[in-house]
Amino acid sequence: MSSDEDTPLGTLASTSGSKHVATNGNSSLNGFADGSSMSEDEMPLSQVSVQAPVRPLRRKRDAGDASDSSDDDIPLASSSPAKPTVSVTTQVATTPKTISDQSKQTNGKAKGKVKAPPKKRIKREPKSEAPESSASEDERPPPKKRSRTKVKTENNVDGAILGGEETKPKRRSAAKKEAKKEDSGTPRPNHSKKGEENDEAEEEEEKYRWWEAQQENDGEEKWQTLEHSGVIFPPPYEPLPSHVKMVYKGKEVDLPPESEEVAGFYGAMLETDHAKDKTFNKNFFEDWLKVLKEYPPRNGIKITDFDLCDFRPMYEYFEAEKAKKKALSAAEKKELKKQKDAMEEKYTYCVLDGRKEKVGNFRVEPPGLFRGRGDHPKKGALKFRVRPEDITLNIGEGVPIPVPNMSGNWKAVVHDKTVTWLANWVENVNGNYKYVFLAAGSSLKGQSDMSKFEKARELKKYVDRIRLDYTADLKNKVMADRQRATAMYFIDRLALRAGNEKGEDEADTVGCCSLRCEHVTLEAPNFIIFDFLGKDSIRYYNRVPVDAQVFKNIRLFKENKGDNDNLFDRVNTTHLNKHLQSYMKGLTAKVFRTYNASITFQQQLDEGTPKDATTQEKLNAYNHANRMVAILCNHQRSVPKTHEQSMGKMRDRLRALKYDHMKLRHVLFNLDSKYQKMKQYADDESDLDDEWIVEHEESLKKKEIEKVEKKFAKDNEKSVEEGNKPQDESVLREKIAAIEVEFKRIAKERGTGRASLKRERPAERIEESIQKLDEKIKTFKLQMDDREAGKEVALGTSKINYLDPRITAAWCKIHNVPIEKIFSKTLLTKFPWAMEAESDWKF
């Protein structure tokens, strides 16, 4: 089965879905996407009993139709339309070394080995999970030494100070110091909030450090004991109010709940791009007609024509319900979240070998309409409601079997210690298996990640020999060997995916081994143009120069073939991977992709990071290196719909900073005319026109008034709670009047080149403020440039799946960059083992 390593974490976030509004209707191996362009977890930390439902009619499916899991059912919101991408060759050619030179780099070795921690700290031997590309776990890396160098985090005042201003520890009051002296001889429980935080910190420190433990298992069993609560099923369908009906030929249709539910899935999506797609509409209507056949309208209306259906009443009802939910007060939303969290708590953790570990996607995705990615032939198809009878649980022997939160019995309960999934089922649209795994930060996932990157690092020992061999085989007289060598050339040089055969009912996506003649065009003297749909139906377009022999081979392979014939008709992924494993145990084409991504990233960082630069300049260099890898791996995306809007807000923010800069300059001019002759204060802010200044000052006044109004209301609310008399409205009116007076004064200063402050400050302090604003403006411009440069590239996929996180951890240490500016909370949790890499660690 394919791994979920290629799936962006953002799309793996589980969501419970609304009872009425259709959910994404798609999932990956580790959960189903929420359709958002970027989740909060992906952002760097610094920035930021009821009636049983009636099951819809089941689609017939051949029992043997279950295929390997794929990521084709991730929502359109996460994919890009077909569009040319930047040529990797052109981009990488600007650096002194090319991808083909990477194997010649001097790569640092992991520093020092350590003794295993005392066995009394480890209750049970940990079970390591090998990556799916590995044949076994015999080549598992030895345990790594825990680094004594700490990566600075914004909340870590004890770590090494790696950049920026030092975080000062909070001072204790004299009373607290005195109390500490008195209690020093007699320890006692600390019931204060700080005491609770300290206890939590100690508990955090005692987390299982699997990467330090001895690895002594036999490579087969992943665990010994496993106990969990199963999965959560979505709530049953609740019929719409009697006044909400879909309309057919101008008449309201009285649908039974079974067919009304399916109609509602479409109604909720009425204003989306999906509802404008012919394939989506066709598949939905065909499946809905099957449900209608079994559960026809109660008022006898016969539905036969999709174009005569009007789902708008349903859509308007769903929108009104969403508006009501959005209008709830903060307290009401908090209470609802509290209830939801309490209900889900027992599902969020499992007990693995006596340790409490977090579960990843414990929610079963609700029924809905399949969305897919790109031009998927099944988009719009009905996804059935999953029931206990569909789910196989994996759990330890002799532990209580969880009871489903809806009526029914589990399909099966197994005790398979050689796998790491907790539950699985087969979804009906593509016949793919869906799994429940442990969370990204769990020991089993961590071991899998670390093993994957160690496998890619191990390839360094063999890559020169592999390249020599496939270069020689480019002229091999055996056609199968020559085709294999040419495919290896593309996989190595261009980081192409190997590719697998697709069925007729799957999206027409290809990889290297499944390329057809129509996907490759020759252009003399030595250029090849690739144009095909890759994974997730994302277009791969690249015009690259190749070796003369490769050009000759492609011309030979295309002879006497039609456009729809396979370019490599004597090579497939299985044979290619079998050949690669003759060089190195567990080596597959995917390992090459991980290796080339990480080695390219390391090279780009080493060559492109400025030494004497600001943190933002270093971050821009880091993102540039990440973009080079994303382009290499074809991690493209369409420009977000909100991009121009967010850039507009950033431009306004930049103007606001320049406005502050201008006002301070004018204050200096008012204090002493000599400042006007100084070069650093002479230039006006050219993009601040009079009209914008008036609008900005009106906006500032409005914000100031809103601020005092909120504070006035809050103070009065507090006074009433304390039994005191609230302030009179005249107090508020006085404050607003003072703001009006202040902004009238500011308005009079427009165009005069002179300004004054509400509170006088010495010229030296104003000069310092201007200098700080200069730095802030420079940093903000760099952030804008970085945002604009990355609008068509998805940086998250490579950061999560292809770039060894130790590269980032070491880079942050050596360049004094807080790692929270790069890794989100989710990634810090996912890669705890990487945070201990030494500053001189190299991939």
Please give the Cα distance from 605 to 842 (Å, whole number).
Answer: 11
Name the token pair of 258: 């079974």
Instruction: Determine contact, residues 41/12, Cβ cutoff 8 Å.
Output: no
Please give the Cα distance from 692 to 696 (Å, whole number).
Answer: 6
Nearest to 380 by CA among 284, 311, 291: 284
Category of 372 on φ-ψ map: left (φ > 0), alpha (ψ -120 to 50) or beta: left
CA atoms within 13 A on the CB side of 63: 0
What letter does residue 433 receive in the DSSP assignment? E
Return the bridge partners of 522, or none: 528
What letter does residue 152 receive in the DSSP assignment? P
Please give the Cα distance from 742 to 705 (Å, whole number).
Answer: 12
Please give the Cα distance from 245 to 252 (Å, whole number).
Answer: 6
The residues that are catalytic are 802
Please give the Cα distance from 154 to 166 (Å, whole number).
Answer: 10
CA 477 to chain centre: 46
CA atoms within 13 A on the CB side of 49: 0
Nearest to 538 by CA among 405, 374, 387, 396: 374
Name the token pair of 150: 């700490």
Rg (the chain; Cα; Å): 31
* H helical segments located in 421-564: 443-458, 463-473, 479-494, 548-558
SS3 assignment for 260-272: HHHHHHHHCCCCC
Name the token pair of 726: 């609230």
Is the N-terminal amide bond of 118 cis, ω within 30° of 0? Answer: no
Nearest to 489 by CA among 95, 92, 100: 100
Return the bridge partners of 291, or none: none
Which residues are CB-contacts of 185 (< 8 A; sequence separation ≥ 6)? none
Place of tokens 């085709």: 483
What letter does residue 688 receive in the DSSP assignment? -
Please give the Cα distance from 413 to 434 (Å, whole number).
Answer: 16
